[in-house]
Every structure is written in C-alpha cells, then in structure tokens.
C-alpha cells in the first residue's frame, strides 16, 4: 500500500518543527513507518542548495531562487519522497511546493504562470495527500524566532514581504480547500494538536 505524503507550511515561527515532531510520534503510535524531511533540502544536493538559498550573503534574481528551489525539489522527489511512498512509508515534509508559490510568488512577486510551469515540469500531477498550513501573525512569528537563531536570508526580509507570503498561502488554501487545511497557530499547543489530528483524520482512515 502506498504511503501518505503530509506537508507542513507556514512562515517561520508558526511552529512547524514542533508540530511536525509531534505528528511523527502520533503516526508511529498508530503503527505507521514515518520519515521526516524538509525543503529546500532532503538530499545531499538539496542541502547544498539550501545552504546557498539561505545564505544572507547571496544576492540572486527571483527566478534564480525559484529555479534552485525546484531543482532541489526534483532531487527530493526522485531520491526520497517517491521511493519512500512506494515502500508504504509515510513522508512528512517541512515545506513543499506551496512554499514556492508563497515565498517566490507572493514574497518575490514572481509570475505565477512561471511557477505553475515549473510545478508541472518537476512534479506533474503529484501533490501531497494533505497540507497543514499553520497560520500565525507576522508579529507573533517574529517574536517566537527572534531569540532562537541567527536570521537567514529570508528571515531578514521586511514585514511587508511576509505579509505577501501569508496572503499567498491563504489564497493557495482557498484554491485547494480539499488538500490545504488552515490551522490557527495562535492557539494553545494542545488546540493546534487537536486541529492537526482532525485535519489528517481522513487520510488515516
């Protein structure tokens, strides 16, 4: 039986890492085999590209950024995601293609037509079984991450950039309501976990 593909999306500070680890535990308790991965990254090449993409010393065209993201994604699908799913393993990824539409499309204002073409070229009709978008205010996200680590190239962007990113995520959720579940990440940890569990109930049946 094919495994399931779950992706978590949201701006930094939304709590993706925390809820991703809990979701991994929850699914393993149900007897599923689970792997955790991330984008950009997931493979040796993907992690090398991640280093370039997050390096705040790098200055690149928005199209270059998008092409590098999708190059890493093509490797990720080929080397990690698709083989795992074919073995019956569940895959949980910290970000996937929706992030490109939010950050490069919304944040960088890159043509959605070009992103659609890249999506079609790299993954065809393949999509996650469910995407959990953890929605948090920009102020709350910044407050949660301000003392955790040194900001990367994206995290150093201004609030207006993240406002466009958040709006793009919400527009994407409206476009694909059957796949993308919007979860209020401003709730308590317990309430968010209940929302996550409810959101994946249909694919756990």
Does 14 carry a binding-site annotation? Answer: yes
Does 11 carry a binding-site annotation? Answer: yes
Does 31 carry a binding-site annotation? Answer: no
Q: How many Å separate Cα 133 from the centre of its chain?
A: 8
Distance CA 137, CA 114 (A): 28
Joined together, the tokens standing for residue 78 give 């080929």
Does 198 carry a binding-site annotation? Answer: no
Does 149 carry a binding-site annotation? Answer: no
Does 88 carry a binding-site annotation? Answer: no
Is residue 8 within a helix (H) or strand (E), and if so which, with residue range? strand 5-9
- In degrees to the nearest 10, what's the CA dihedral of 180, 52, 155, 116? -30
Does 6 carry a binding-site annotation? Answer: no
Does 56 carry a binding-site annotation? Answer: no
DSSP 142: H
Annotated binding site: 10-17
Annotated binding site for ATP: 10-17
């Amino acid at each position: 039986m094919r495994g399931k593909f779950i992706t978590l999306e949201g701006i930094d500070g939304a709590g993706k890492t925390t809820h991703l680890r809990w979701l991994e535990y929850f699914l393993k308790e149900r007897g599923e085999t689970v792997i955790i991965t991330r984008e950009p990254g997931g493979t040796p090449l993907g992690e090398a590209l991640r280093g370039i993409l997050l390096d705040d010393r790098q200055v690149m065209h928005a199209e270059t950024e998008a092409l590098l993201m999708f190059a890493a994604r093509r490797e990720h699908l080929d080397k990690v995601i698709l083989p795992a799913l074919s073995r019956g393993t569940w895959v949980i990824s910290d970000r996937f293609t929706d992030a490109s539409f939010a950050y490069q499309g919304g944040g960088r204002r890159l043509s959605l037509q070009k992103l659609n073409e890249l999506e079609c070229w790299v993954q065809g009709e393949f999509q996650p079984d469910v995407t959990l978008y953890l929605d948090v205010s920009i102020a709350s996200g910044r407050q949660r991450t301000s003392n955790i680590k040194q900001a990367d190239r994206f995290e150093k962007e201004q609030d207006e950039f993240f406002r466009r990113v958040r709006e793009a995520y919400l527009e994407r959720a409206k476009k694909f309501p059957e796949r993308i579940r919007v979860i209020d990440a401003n709730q308590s940890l317990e309430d968010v976990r209940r929302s996550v569990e409810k959101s994946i109930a249909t694919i756990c049946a």
